[in-house]
Amino acid sequence: MNSILSLISTSIRLAVPLGYASIAGSISETAGILALGLEGFMMIGAFMGVLGAFYTGNVILGILMAAGAGAIFALIFGFFCIQLKSNQVVAGVGMNIIAEGLVSVLMIAIFGSKGKSELVPSLQKLDIPILKNIPIIKDIFSGYTGLAYFLILVMIIAWIVIYKAPIGIRLRATGINSEVVDSLGLRSGLIKYISVAACGAIAAIGGTFLSLSQLNFYSKDMVAGRGYIALAIFVFAKKNPALCVLISLLFGFTEAIHLRMQKFPISSQFLAMLPYLCTIIVLIVSATNNKKQKLVVK
């Protein structure tokens, strides 16, 4: 029983960064920009969060700095995609390579090692007042850091903004046909920039969850393809933030199996493959579900 509970809570914990990243991806995808740079945004976020916490000694400031850095980095990506009409796939891969190089160089310049940064203060775990007294519920719903609960808020806000708010209609219209939006006197470029910046900030916060909540340092290869997995998640979720979080839970579970089930008679390498295999399977299934909906690769 205890091992099942710990499996569930580990799944939830591992799902959080994917949740942030896939919501971030949905937002920019809705505006018609395929955020292939998600991996890079998360990497920048994870590192800048640690850097901010290292210099200020305050985790919240670190996270804010990460979000800001992620937004700026994403805006550069946006500038290339929107203003310079870059191929989104090539530009996204370029941004990921830049992010990796930049973080490695800064790691060596600031912490003197490219593998692992110095330890910084990390987020405290929160106990939810009433839930913490109920036996099983407490293990599943209580005891995460604030960022995990913040994800629910982000999910709700993103859902309302995309589907219920007036700006959401403009956002979706921009994704469908930006020229029509322009012809109505609305600035589709501005809408795209805002959505890309939001994407970068949210993905970066997802990155800080890896470095400031799960751990209290930055380590190389920390993001490990989560940005790409998030791409598959929001395709499967049809860009719906609520579904993004649900599907992230599934992926969190596949990662949790690797971490918690070391006693399985299967080699750990095969368990480590699970999230990546699962991504491919999800892509196969989602493509048959919505044949008409294609990723906007131009």
Partner 1 sequence: MKNRKYIHQMGTSLLSIVIAVIIGSIVIGLCGYSPVLAYTALLKGAFGSPALLMTTLEKSIPLIFCGIAAMISFKCGLFNIGIEGQLIMGAITYALIGLKLQWLPMPLHILVCSILAMLAGALWSSIAAILKVTRNANEVVTTVMLNYIAIYFTEFLVAGPFMAEGMIAQSNALDERKMIPFIPGSSKLTWACVIALVFLIVIALFYKYTVTGYNMIATGINFKAAEAGGIRMNSTCILSMALSGAIAGLGGAMLVSATYGRFVLDMSSGYGFDGMAIAVLGQNSAIGVLFSSILFGGLRTGSLYMAMFEGIPSELVSILQGVIILVISAPMLVRYLQVWRKKYE
State yes or no: residue 83 binds partner 1 (CB under 8 A): yes
How many residues lie near partner 1 (CB under 8 A)?
50
State yes or no: residue 157 binds partner 1 (CB under 8 A): no
Instruction: Name which position in 8, 12, 21, 36 contacts partner 1 (CB under 8 A).
Output: 36
Binding segment for partner 1 among 67-75, 102-110, 200-208, 210-218 (CB under 8 A)? 102-110
State yes or no: residue 237 binds partner 1 (CB under 8 A): no
Tokens of 52: 């901010």
State yes or no: residue 72 binds partner 1 (CB under 8 A): no
Q: How long, in residues, is the chain?
A: 298
- Residues 124, 145: contact at Cβ < 8 Å? yes
Instruction: Name which position in 4, 90, 137, 165 contacts partner 1 (CB under 8 A).
Output: 90
Q: How far is the CB of 280 from partner 1 (least distance, A)?
A: 5
Residue 233, classified by CB atoms within 10 Å of its CB into exposed (0-12), middle (13-18) or buried (19+), is buried
State yes or no: residue 136 binds partner 1 (CB under 8 A): no
Instruction: Name which position in 4, 89, 134, 169 contacts partner 1 (CB under 8 A).
Output: 89
Instruction: Name which position in 96, 145, 174, 195 contacts partner 1 (CB under 8 A).
Output: 96
Q: How far is the CB of 157 from partner 1 (least distance, A)?
A: 26
Separation of alpha carbons 298 and 292, rounded Å = 16
Q: How far is the CB of 119 from partner 1 (least distance, A)?
A: 22
Residues between 201 and 230 with contacts to partner 1, criterion CB under 8 A: 224-225, 228-229
Instruction: Name which position in 87, 133, 177, 262 contacts partner 1 (CB under 8 A).
Output: 87
Separation of alpha carbons 298 and 282, rounded Å = 23
Binding segment for partner 1 among 59-67, 173-181, 184-192, 269-277 (CB under 8 A)? 269-277
State yes or no: residue 291 binds partner 1 (CB under 8 A): yes
The smaller minimum CB distance to partner 1, of residues 163 and 228, is found at 228
Q: Which residues make up the interface to partner 1 (CB under 8 A)?
A: 36, 80, 83-87, 89-91, 93-102, 104-106, 108-109, 114, 224-225, 228-229, 231-232, 235, 267, 269-270, 272-273, 276-277, 279-280, 283-284, 287-288, 291, 294-295, 297
